[in-house]
Structure 1
Amino acid sequence: MTTMLGALRRKVMTPPLDDVLFSTRGFHTHDGAARDLLEMSGRQFVIGFGFAMESADTAESVTRLETLDRQFHGFAYEGAAMALALRDALRPGPRGRRTEDFLRTGRGAAHIYMAYLGIGFTLGRLPRMFWGRALPDVSQLPDHPTLSWFIWDGYGFHQAFFDPAKWIDKQYVSTSYPWQVSYVNRAIDHGIGRALWFYNGAHVESVAASISRFPAARHADLWSGAGLAASYAGGVGAEDLKLLHQAAGPHGPEVSLGAVLAIKARVLADVITPHTETASATLCGMSAVDAAEITNRVVIDLPPDGAVPAYEVFRDRIRRHFQ
């Protein structure tokens, strides 16, 4: 049951819904229907954030999240994970464990992919001295621990979405992250690629033009992010998805890789939409269930992290299906 303290947390911490509008962010609109769909995704994220910020416990958060439009559940759970990670990080004394409680079982566990992205948003809102407190104990969470690299994907999306002048127009790259800097920046580029889908209003030619302005060494990771956003958030039909794959040229397998990850997230959460099947057929040449099954096979016997993180080995195994 919501308490006065919970209501205060929500009022103080939850951003306004208008904060995710294209007009607020200065994003490009090429198609009104695509804009409306992508804006709705952002609104559901904010609503999910508010629910988790206000709720007394994670069970209440889940109950309220499940009342929302099912096709947008992933975005709502993503926002909820961000809120819980913030609450854990800012809790006085020992770090909280709300995030682990939320994601360990049930509907939270089913949205683990999107939740990791939401935790990455948290890093974008906290001073770096709090980052360690925001990160969950991934050994306590479902699925392979290497998938926690999605947190950096979420961070990259946050930075590009809320500061496109720096991260998209100026193509900013930081060298001061406390972990594996070279691969952290690659994972961040996955998120920037997703943000380009929103920034360009799901307009394929504009997305391609944006990516072309980045250094060539970054193109592959940006294309995989664009493929993930196009497949999960949508906003276009089969013809534009074909055009996206064609525009990527030699990075077509990266677009398919991104699509597989998006499809896996929806299949795992049992939130498969008609667009999910369209994206899977167009970008992967198979059904959504079959595309998701690829991840189940390639995650087996991943090596320990070395010069190449196990997460990149996981991604490369998916990529090889489409080369």
Structure 2
Amino acid sequence: MTPMIPMIPTSTTIPLLDAMLADPARAQAPLGDGPARARTGVAVASFIDGLRCFDAGPTAMIARVEALAPEAQLFAWEGVGLAAEARGQIDVALAAAPTFAPLLLVGAGWADALRGRKIGAPRCAHVDRWSVLDGQGFCLGLLDRRAALLEFAPEPTVALAIDQGIGRSLYFVHGGTASAIERAIMDVPASRRGALWSGVGLASVITNGLNDTARADLRERGGADLQLGEHLAALLLARISTPPHEPPTGWAATVLDGSEPPIAVLRRGLDRG
């Protein structure tokens, strides 16, 4: 029998999260204006929907997420992951919806960051800790981007994944505005910029909120690093698609297996051709 998740709809032990559940508009506050603002708003609203879906138990949880609009489901799974980790039930959520593990684990990273856990030291011991670290970075960047960009120096072993998450947050806080994102990234050491741009590229594909002109501007500024993020997004979408796509082969099959930061594997594989 599948274990049921406790019904705890009113308290997660994370004050900021409880405040967002009580007033969903509060979750929209960090979002900046720009060409992607409508889509980032949908993403955040869907994330909050996912928080609520979790309380229904594994079977009903899946049905509730699948009842959402297709463009909302990706972000809802991240919300499910946050709610699950906040209640100490991430393993139950992963067992119920293993296909969506990368998204659930991003949400688990949110829980770590909101609880003040050291960024770079996730509580969740899943093999794909890179997704958890991405979630930590995204949450840090969304809620305190000055600290994320100017005061935070990730340890080398986890920097790629955390900065990828921070890069994703930049897309949200600047509404997909390429010039503003570029200014923010240019303020950090050059060694971090590649992963930040890759995170921007990942977010731009997943949210799918830019017109052709805005997307071309972003690609021109982000260059090859942004394109890495776009490639990663395509692999992620293929993995979680219904019905599933043909699984990747060769080096591409290892991008999301948790053995290394996905961006590192992807960069090495593309360099080899």
Residue 293 (1) aligns with residue 244 (2)? no
Query: Shift of the alpha carbon at 1:200?
Result: 0.9
Give the counterpart letter for 1:100 in structure 2.
Answer: D
1:163-182 to structure 2, matched below 5 A, reads: 163-168=144-149, 171-174=150-153, 181-182=155-156
1:256-275, CA deviations, whole angstroms, 9 ceiling, x for partnerless residues?
A: 21112212222222269xxx
- Alpha-carbon distance between aligned partners in 1 of 2:42 and 2:153, rounded to the nearest angstrom: 31
Could you say which residue in structure 2 is the equivalent of 1:201?
175
| Among candidates 168, 180, 188, match of residue 214 of structure 1 | 188
- Alpha-carbon distance between aligned partners in 2 of 1:192 and 1:231, rounded to the nearest angstrom: 16
Residue 253 (1) aligns with residue 224 (2)? yes
1:119-145, CA deviations, whole angstroms, 9 ceiling, x for partnerless residues?
A: 11011122439x989404x3xxxxxx3
| Among candidates 14, 20, 25, match of residue 18 of structure 1 | 25
Query: Shift of the alpha carbon at 1:20?
Result: 2.2
**With CA pairs under 8 Å and 6+ residues apart, which has the higher RCO, 1 or 2?**
2
SS of the residue corresponding to residue 128 of structure 1 reads coil
| Among candidates 27, 30, 33, match of residue 29 of structure 1 | 33
Give the counterpart letter for 2:39 in structure 1.
Answer: L
- Alpha-carbon distance between aligned partners in 2 of 1:303 and 1:264, rounded to the nearest angstrom: 12
Could you say which residue in structure 2 is the equivalent of 1:223?
197
- Alpha-carbon distance between aligned partners in 2 of 1:102 and 1:148, rounded to the nearest angstrom: 16
Could you say which residue in structure 2 is the equivalent of 1:268?
239
SS of the residue corresponding to residue 184 of structure 2 reads helix
Could you say which residue in structure 2 is the equivalent of 1:111?
100
Between the two proteins, what is the percent identity of the paired residues?
A: 21
Could you say which residue in structure 1 is the equivalent of 2:139?
158
Conservation of the 8 A alpha-carbon contact between 1:254 and 1:319: no
- Alpha-carbon distance between aligned partners in 1 of 2:12 and 2:257, rounded to the nearest angstrom: 42
| Among candidates 262, 265, 268, match of residue 314 of structure 1 | 265
Could you say which residue in structure 1 is the equivalent of 2:84?
84
Give the counterpart letter for 2:94 in structure 1.
Answer: L
Query: Unaligned 5+ residue runs, structure 2?
Result: none
Query: Shift of the alpha carbon at 1:188?
Result: 1.2
- Alpha-carbon distance between aligned partners in 1 of 2:63 and 2:271, rounded to the nearest angstrom: 40
Conservation of the 8 A alpha-carbon contact between 2:51 and 2:83: yes
Structure 1 residues 302 and 121 mapped into 2: Cα distance closer, same or farther (>3 Å)? closer
- Alpha-carbon distance between aligned partners in 2 of 1:37 and 1:267, rounded to the nearest angstrom: 21
In angstroms, what is the RMSD of aligned CA positions? 3.3
TM-score computed with the length of structure 1 as normaliser: 0.70
Query: Shift of the alpha carbon at 1:312?
Result: 5.8
Structure 1 residues 201 and 78 mapped into 2: Cα distance closer, same or farther (>3 Å)? same
Give the counterpart letter for 1:135 in structure 2.
Answer: C
- Alpha-carbon distance between aligned partners in 1 of 2:207 and 2:183, rounded to the nearest angstrom: 20
Give the counterpart letter for 1:266 in structure 2.
Answer: L
SS of the residue corresponding to residue 235 of structure 1 reads coil
SS of the residue corresponding to residue 29 of structure 1 reads coil
Query: Shift of the alpha carbon at 1:68?
Result: 1.1
Could you say which residue in structure 2 is the equivalent of 1:275?
none
Give the counterpart letter for 1:165 in structure 2.
Answer: R
Conservation of the 8 A alpha-carbon contact between 2:122 and 2:132: no
SS of the residue corresponding to residue 104 of structure 1 reads helix
- Higher CA-based Rg: 1
Residue 42 (1) aligns with residue 39 (2)? no
Structure 1 residues 150 and 270 mapped into 2: Cα distance closer, same or farther (>3 Å)? same
